[in-house]
Amino acid sequence: MKVTMSKLLKYLAAGVVRYWLMHTDYWQTISNRVEIATPLNSWKRLTEGVYLYDHDVNPYEGDAFHESPIMLIVFHFLMKKVPYLLPLIFTIIDLITAHLLYKTAKSFVAMFKDAQESAKDEVAEESKGMLLQDSDLAEVPNYVLSVYLFNPYSVLNCVGMTTTVVQNVLVTGALWSAAGSQQVLACLCLALATHQALYPVLLIVPISLLLADMKKGCNKCSYIRTLLIFVLCWGFLTYISAFIMDGSYDYLNNTYGLILTIPNLKPNIGLFWYFFTEMFEHFRLLFICAFQINALALYIIPLTLRFKKEPVLLATVLIALSTIFRSYPCVGDVGFYLALLPLWKHLFSFMQQKFIVGCAFIITSALGPTVWHLWIYSGSANANFFFGVTLSFATAQIFLITDLLFAYIKREFTLKHGTSRDIDGRPAKLVLR
């Protein structure tokens, strides 16, 4: 009963904070911050697109609106019928995301423990103290829940009423469905997230692996079936969107086209805007291809080959990498994958960069708004200052992900070979000569 009451209080406190901030004088400032709102997810652009659609003007003819037609129809209905409930709706969606993350974490930790029990005979005797305990089954999901509910990045993302809130709940729904062997629902949620933001398409690989593991089969038919269902769902959503726009597929230029070609160079916390502002035009296509290959294709094959037996870790890393290297990232994307890190609590003792990464996150989060004010309002700085902060922020995230991967490999080695390091029966030591 105490645990249940504690969870309810967390949901209530997080919901009240979000809802209260949406009704303060700071809401407009928060919703327009470059760290929170991008051309792809901005609430201001969403309302403008709905206004144009309501006045029989194609919102995709200009550069104002970049959401999918399905999102356009949904929010057109909400703004017309229940505009006063929109802050509450965004708050509830974010709380649903947190709850689904909690349920997903419970399923994943149970999977980790089952896999550990089946491989217990291969663990060195002196390393058995490092194995997951029964207490982790309750602790880890609670950590995941708390990190998402009270992470400032997640809170500000919800308060800014960005459509990243919707993307997060869809990605969480896909992971939760896959953990429960619900193949069609997982593919549908992932297709909806991909239809909105494209980069979640990377998750089809770990979700296929996860579904195959849950069904106790790793045959090719399982992978092909998952991929086929996903493609059919994605294709159907594309067709529905075209039907909404009177049979025209021109909207693709302002949705996927914006994501892939980066025509809008408004500063954000990503890496694309500065490079393409400074770049000579005749090099643009080359670097667009290079940047998008890095974000969409470069890491998926080697990471899948190395971590195919750990689809949850693979999903976590791919979500993080797509956040760092996507064309229009925001703090809501960062807050989402940070909430997945407590799943790997058993790796924290093997991570060496925790303090450095933590300090970098705090410093860059404080310096970003400061440098932005100096650049835009005071005129005492320039774009190089702000980009330096965003570059440091991206570097800290890369350190975090590489540290997590190395920690997994170290723990895997230690479980098998033990903690002692002996050579010819004597303790090993490193001697510099």
Secondary structure in 3-state letters for the chain:
CHHHHHHHHHHHHHHHHHHHHHCCCCHHHHHHCCCCCCCCCCHHHHHHHHHHHHCCCCCCCCCCCCCCHHHHHHHHHHHHHCHHHHHHHHHHHHHHHHHHHHHHHHHHHHHHHHHHHHCHHHCCHHHHHHCCCCCHHHHHHHHHHHHHHHCHHHHHHHHCCCCHHHHHHHHHHHHHHHHCCCHHHHHHHHHHHHHHHCHHHHHHHHHHHHHHHHCCCCCHHHHHHHHHHHHHHHHHHHHHHHHHCCCCCCHHHHCHHHHHHCCCCCCCCCCHHHHHHHCCHHHHHHHHHHHHHHHHCCCHHHHHHHCCCCHHHHHHHHHHHHHHHCCCCCHHHHHHHHCCHHHHHHHHHHCCCHHHHHHHHHHHHHHHHHHHHHHHHHCCCCHHHHHHHHHHHHHHHHHHHHHHHHHHHHHHHHHHHCCCCEECCEECCCCCC
Question: Which two three-digit tokens encode residue 214?
Answer: 């849950």
Q: Does a structural domain hold residue 327?
A: yes
Q: Does a structural domain hold residue 249?
A: yes
Domains in the chain, number: 1
Q: Does a structural domain hold residue 431?
A: no
Q: Does a structural domain hold residue 369?
A: yes
Determine the pLDDT at residue 425: 62
Question: Which two three-digit tokens encode residue 19?
Answer: 């809802």
Q: Does a structural domain hold residue 228?
A: yes
Distance of CA 106 to the CA centre of its chain: 19
**pLDDT values of the chain reduced to their tens digit, one per residue, 433 residues:** 455 888 899 999 999 999 999 999 999 999 999 999 999 999 999 999 999 999 999 999 888 899 999 999 999 999 999 999 999 999 999 999 999 999 999 999 999 888 887 777 777 777 777 778 888 888 999 999 999 999 999 999 999 999 999 999 999 999 999 999 999 999 999 999 999 999 999 999 999 999 988 876 556 788 899 999 999 999 999 999 999 999 999 999 999 999 999 999 999 999 999 999 988 888 899 999 999 999 999 999 999 999 988 999 999 999 999 999 999 999 999 999 999 999 999 999 999 999 999 999 999 999 999 999 999 998 888 999 999 999 999 999 999 999 999 999 999 888 887 776 666 666 666 565 5
Q: Which of 76, 95, 93 is nearest to 15 (CA)?
A: 95
Q: Does a structural domain hold residue 426?
A: no
Determine the pLDDT at residue 414: 86
Structural domain that includes position 141: 2-416
Question: Which two three-digit tokens encode residue 211?
Answer: 């579904």
pTM (2 decimals)?
A: 0.94
Q: Does a structural domain hold residue 421?
A: no
Q: Does a structural domain hold residue 427?
A: no
